[in-house]
Chain A
Amino acid sequence: MVCERCISAVKNTLDTLGLHATGITLGEVALGAVPQEKIAELRERLHVLGFSLAEDKTYLAAAAVKKLVAEVYSGGFDFPAGFRFSLYAAGKLRMPYDQLSALFVAAEKTTIEAYILNRRMEKVKDLLLQEDLTLETIAFRLGFTGKAHLASQFKALTGTTTSRFREQAAPKITVAPENP
């Protein structure tokens, strides 16, 4: 949107869709809540005029990154040697990583790195509790360099050790011999 005619065109489109804007300026429209179906229609009509919803790209990129993080740190991903999420994401999503980073922060208010740390640790907790896996196996499945790496990151993020965490969540029941 670069001029008065752009503003008129956008206003007409909103009017046609029965949407009321509280303010229209160059590049921005302030709307109340808009039902999903109307957003799709709005996006279409704006596209015909040569516009696109810029916010969309931000949220779409962030959603794509989150999906990728879920895939990579699912416990079933085959990590190639020297794996780096930044390179993987840039390749898969065909966008320079610093661009992905900026879009992610704009949408999620947190960095991709912080998000990954968080999600990965949640997955570690899941695996620690659900299955009787060794730390080494969990580390391998989630792309850590080894159990020491996992253990130190776990302690740093949660404050406890992996064994204490396992204990607290599912205390082992010792069967005491019956009193004769």
Chain B
Amino acid sequence: MVLHIKNMVCDRCIMAVRNELEKLPLPYSDLRLGEVTVAADPGPDTLQRFAGNLRSLGFELLDDQRSQTVERIKNTIINLVHRSGEVSNLKLSAILEQELGMDYHYLTTLFSSVEAMTIEKFAILQRIERVKELLTYNELALGEIADQLGYSSPQHLSQQFKKTTGMTPSQFRGLTENTRQPLDKLKG
């Protein structure tokens, strides 16, 4: 059976969950962002201990269908923005429909009702956070960052960056304080 976990956003999250699974121990066959496939029903005791351990790491076991679907939407977007090397030509709506096998209209309605924002807004926030990360490393020119994230031009990126953060990418580069946020806690 598949257990759904909230707030997993990167490889370290996967490592942390793997650690917990091995500690219990809870045998599993697959572990990815947001989901672990366990061999058999763990039983309420083990499940409760697992849930407790996860909570102390900042994660949460999701047991209702709606939250699980919302988390899968987030996982898809995070994988797309932060973890895949290439830019997809498909629109986000098409990708989500494909991944989740559900109508996009249903997905947007569901997402907005559970989260405080639209899918579009969530995707933009994730993208901008990725831009901040790349700007901090100071290894790529703005044009290359724009390409990597699928923006039509560096100007378009700057525009969206300014709209979301209130400053231009250059101004961000000049900041001394760190304004980056954890990916599972992004606020517009």
Contact = CB atoms under 8 A, between A and B. Distances in A.
B49 interface: no
B58 A26 contact: no
A26 B178 contact: yes
Interface residues of B, number: 26
Interface string A111-148: 00000000000000000000000000000000000000
A175 interface: no
Contact of B82 (A2, A5, A28): A2
Contacts of A57: 137, 139
Interface string A61-98: 00000000000000000000000000000000000101
B184 A3 contact: yes
A5 B138 contact: no
Contacts of B181: 26
Contacts of A27: 133, 136-137, 178, 180
Residue in B12, B57, B82, B140 whose Cβ sees the most chain A Cβ within 10 Å? B12
Interface in B94-139: 129, 133, 136-139
A102 B135 CA distance: 12
Given A2-B82, A26-B181, A28-B178, A54 B139 contact: yes
Contact of B182 (A4, A54, A58, A106): A4
B174 to A, nearest CB: 13
Contacts of B139: 54, 57-58, 99, 102-103
Nearest to A106: B138
A18 interface: no
Contacts of B183: 2-3
A50 B12 CA distance: 8
Given A58-B139, A99-B139, A103-B139, A5 B178 contact: no
B12 A6 contact: yes
B144 A3 contact: no
- Interface size band for A: 20 to 34
A5 B16 contact: yes
Contacts of A2: 9-10, 82, 129, 133, 182-183
Contact of B180 (A26, A54, A96): A26
Contacts of A161: none
Contact of B12 (A49, A102, A106): A49
A21 interface: no
B9 A3 contact: yes
Nearest to A6: B12
A99 B184 CA distance: 31
Interface in B165-188: 178, 180-184
A8 interface: yes
14 contacts: A2-B10, A2-B182, A2-B183, A3-B12, A5-B13, A6-B12, A25-B180, A26-B181, A26-B182, A27-B180, A50-B12, A54-B137, A98-B141, A99-B144
By Cβ-Cβ distance, the 4 closest A-B pairs, closest first, are A26-B180, A5-B12, A3-B182, A25-B178
Interface of A: 2-6, 8-9, 25-28, 49-50, 54, 57-58, 96, 98-99, 102-103, 106
Given A2-B10, A8-B12, A99-B139, 17 more contacts: A2-B129, A3-B7, A3-B10, A3-B58, A3-B182, A3-B183, A3-B184, A5-B13, A9-B15, A27-B136, A27-B137, A54-B136, A96-B144, A98-B141, A102-B138, A102-B139, A103-B139
